[in-house]
Amino acid sequence: MSVPDHEITAHIRSAAMAPPASKVAVDREVLIEALEELLQQRSLLRRLGDDLRTVARSSPTAVKR
């Protein structure tokens, strides 16, 4: 189950309102889910970038550098 956007936004706002170097409480499960989702998105973006580079290289109009 992914963390709802509104919950992530609430945590971001709470952290932004806290003084620098202070600690903000976050539920362990919420943190784990949010970080797992972030890693999945990063992996997907990397694969997309690799695919786009591959397509660009194989394109007949690709610019040679």
Flag whether 12 is in a domain.
Answer: yes
The pLDDT value recorded for residue 40 is 93
Flag whether 64 is in a domain.
Answer: no
Total structural domains within the chain = 1
For the chain, list residues with pLDDT below 70: 1, 62-65
The pLDDT value recorded for residue 63 is 63
Flag whether 19 is in a domain.
Answer: yes
The pLDDT value recorded for residue 64 is 63
* 3-state secondary structure at position 16: helix
Q: Which domain holds residue 25?
A: 5-58
Flag whether 50 is in a domain.
Answer: yes
Flag whether 32 is in a domain.
Answer: yes
Whole-number Cα distances in Å, 63 to 4, 19, 48, 59: 42, 49, 20, 9
The pLDDT value recorded for residue 62 is 63
The pLDDT value recorded for residue 41 is 93
